[in-house]
Structure formats: C-alpha cells, structure tokens
C-alpha cells in the first residue's frame, strides 16, 4: 500500500486558496536536479521550474523560479529586484530562511515571505511544475495560480 504524500506548507497554501493543482511523486536519489525530476516524471523539462534563493547586494534574499534546463542570469535577477548584483544564498541558510531543504524548496509556503520572481517563459505554458516542498514531490499548476499564491512578478531571469 502506497502512503499518501505528507501535506507540505506549499500544498496547504494551495488548498487554502482553492487553487487547482496536481501532485506527482517520484523516488529520490543523489541527483536532485530539475532535469532528473522531469525524466523520472516523464514531463517536458521546460515545464519543470526550479526554485533558486539568491541574495541581492542591497535588498537581501529573494526567490527566482526558472525553467529546469536553464541557468539563472544573476545580473537580470538583480535587476528584477532593483539591485546591482546578487549571488546564491549560502546553502547553510536555505532551510532556516525557507523551511525547505535543497532539492525540495518550494516557492510556496516558505517560512519567511520573500520577494519572488517567476521567469517570463512560464507564461508560454498552461501548466508548469514546481517543488511541492519535499524532495520527490512536484506540484503541477497554472503559472497564473503560481503567481497568485507566491505573490511573484514575471521577470526575465535566464541567460
């Protein structure tokens, strides 16, 4: 008998807003990449968006949600929040700030509400996938619902 996935903060948030979403789970190994998740779930890799927490030089931590196969453009990301530069949040600070661990960091239901930006390519799709707040658990939802739940703005974030 397979167990029902635990309700994460991301799932609770979506449910509390009556947003339509679907959960998909997969077995986790050492490869925590979005591309590996896409392969495991048989999803177009361009539809799996990864959550990256960065720190701006003046405005502090913020969240970027970008397509799995892509690399973040730190200059564009910094520009989205109005900073000159930004860098990855140190891994040791991720869980204390967000409540999530690497490979399972959802842009929804973070411990601390952070400014959030969704790469504009998300608007090309009727649904995308983001982490549901646990390694091996993905949430499929519309980009519009992700924007609503996360309070994100669309921005150009990738190279």
Q: What is the pLDDT of residues 5-25, one digit of tens each?
A: 569 999 999 999 999 999 999
**Domains assigned to the chain:** 9-155 (3.90.960.10)
By CB neighbour count within 10 A (0-12 exposed, 13-18 middle, 19+ buried), where does 125 fall? middle
Q: What angle do CA 149, 154, 159 make, to 5 degrees?
A: 130
Q: What is the DSSP letter of 133?
A: E
pLDDT one-digit tens code per residue, 46-102:
999 999 999 999 999 999 999 999 999 999 999 999 999 999 999 999 999 999 999
pLDDT one-digit tens code per residue, 110-125:
999 999 999 999 999 9
Element (H, E) at 37: helix 34-41
Is 9 in contact with 110 (CB distance < 8 Å)? yes
* Six-digit token string for 8: 């994460």
pTM of the model: 0.94
């Amino acid at each position: 008998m397979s167990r029902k996935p635990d309700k994460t903060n991301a799932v609770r948030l979506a449910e509390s807003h009556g947003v339509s979403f679907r959960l998909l789970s997969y077995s986790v190994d050492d490869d925590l990449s979005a591309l590996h998740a896409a392969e495991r779930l048989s999803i177009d890799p361009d539809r799996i968006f990864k959550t990256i927490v960065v720190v701006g030089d003046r405005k502090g931590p913020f969240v970027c949600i970008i397509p799995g196969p892509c690399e973040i453009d730190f200059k564009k990301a910094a520009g989205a929040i109005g900073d000159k530069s930004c860098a990855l949040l140190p891994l040791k600070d991720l869980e204390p700030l967000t409540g999530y661990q690497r490979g399972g960091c959802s842009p929804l239901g973070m411990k601390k509400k952070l400014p959030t930006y969704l790469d504009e390519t998300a608007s090309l799709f009727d649904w995308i996938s983001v982490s549901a707040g646990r390694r091996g658990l993905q949430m499929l939802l519309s980009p519009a619902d992700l924007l609503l739940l996360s309070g994100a703005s669309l921005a150009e974030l990738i190279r």
